Structure 1
């Protein structure tokens, strides 16, 4: 950050939709704004919004978007590609005129739910990289009656053909005579990992939906609908992947 170059901090906050310039000056005066980890104690500070990390009340304020960051509630039967040689429906069918986007961690055709798409290649690569351990939450309808012992086994870890894997959290949501509904959170992005974990413990998946990626929640977004990431969601994800 600089006192001579860049854009005035209050203007950046206003452009980001945080507050009007006058209200932004009040936030600064009340020591609620940080730039690169330092509390701002003066008005008129100039910043580079593309490089400086700006926070208000501890929450990351991302720069104005030069890229697209989209949430899709992918329907079952849709493949996580922009085109398909076999003529199946793809995510491109739901994106309107948004252009070509990368999926951030694919969902197999039989799995529905939250899929992130972007044209920011660095962001997509970081989100998919296992070293950043972005948690993902699923709701699985599985065959049979799942017990607490089975849930503990998933948390302790099971060994698949490509190595051991464990769930961070599990919760039995419903148990009926012939099926159970389980919520599971894990960091692994391996192919079909949730299905393979439940297969390993003797409860094949009947239906699977991803409901969250990190701080991003599917919420009441309808199947096949899209929305942009909110400023808060994007800021939190940028922190998670250290961008």
Structure 2
């Protein structure tokens, strides 16, 4: 805010324009010390900020100031590749982005036979934080696998499984159901790794090949009841949670202020 304070926009107006609250309620939030700019509490009603460069949060939740950024949740169906244009002519993600004028990209990938939560955005900085394993953003998968998974197998997944490209351990693993009649098992896995087809390879390594796989959660986002093949914009609460996570993971750095157009995409799960 230094240097540009006199030329900036009043903080309460910025909050109102961002849909946080009315201008009057926004003023109350400021006076109560619930608003921070670049990590510093601001209580002066005359304070001005630069919406293009300053980071604002209310009660610890990030506020989206750049209205040109879009954040979309897709329940990717099976049979669709995680690409905006497939050079082999297979069904791709373009059909799900027609409702938005912005050029959206997928954050990370799900292989063609894996369904579930995929984030589409034009915010390259945030996408990099969400997709890169070093930031530790977790993803939750539900896998239907062959055979009866035992508690010992669950512990093995938590301890680590040796694969061709190195050992990998699940952050969490939970057996949801198993059938004594050979109908397979349902297991929930939480991972932050982005290795190629990692869930399928882990389960095959412990003797339970995947039959069906769905991603139910990506960081703070939950698939909920969104039908397969449908996409929707994130709610204000979901956007706030996503931006807060990204800012925390990146250490409140500029990586999440104005990212490039092409988000980093990790390998297929």
TM-score, with length taken from structure 2 = 0.85
Specify every segment of 5 or more residues in structure 2 that has no aligned partner in the other structure, as ranges.
251-255, 257-269
| Structure 1, 128-137 or 203-212: larger mean CA deviation | 128-137
In structure 2, which of residues 120, 132, 135 is the aligned counterpart of residue 129 of structure 1? 132
- Is residue 73 of structure 1 aligned with residue 75 of structure 2? yes
| 8 A Cα contact 1:61 1:232, kept in partner | no
Alignment pair present for 1:42 and 2:44: yes
Which moves more between the two structures, 207-216 or 144-153? 144-153
**C-alpha displacement of 1:240:** 3.2
* Contact 2:52-2:65 at 8 Å conserved across structures: yes
Matched with 2:169 is 166
CA separation in 2, counterparts of 1:60 and 1:52? 11
Structure 1 counterpart of 2:187: 182
Shift of 1:97: 4.3
What's the counterpart of residue 53 of structure 1?
55
Matched residue SS, 2:6 = coil
Q: Deviations for 1:98-125, whole angstroms, at most 9, x for unmatched residues? A: 3542211110000000011122333333
TM-score calculated relative to the size of structure 1: 0.94
* Contact 2:63 2:243 survives alignment (8 Å): no
Give the match's secondary structure for 2:145. Answer: strand
Larger RCO (CA under 8 A, 6+ residues apart) = 2
Question: Structure 1, unaligned stretches of length 5 or more?
Answer: none
Paired position in structure 2 for 1:107: 110
In 1: Cα distance, 2:240 partner to 2:168 partner: 29
Alpha-carbon distance in structure 1 between the residues aligned to 2:106 and 2:82: 7
Residue 27 of structure 2: aligned partner: 25
Q: Partners of 1:54 and 1:120 in 2: how far apart? A: 17
Tell me what 2:92 maps to: 90
Q: CA RMSD in A?
A: 1.6
Shift of 1:21: 0.1
Asked if the contact 1:82/1:100 (under 8 Å) is kept, the reply is no
Q: Aligned to 1:93, what secondary structure does the other structure show?
A: helix
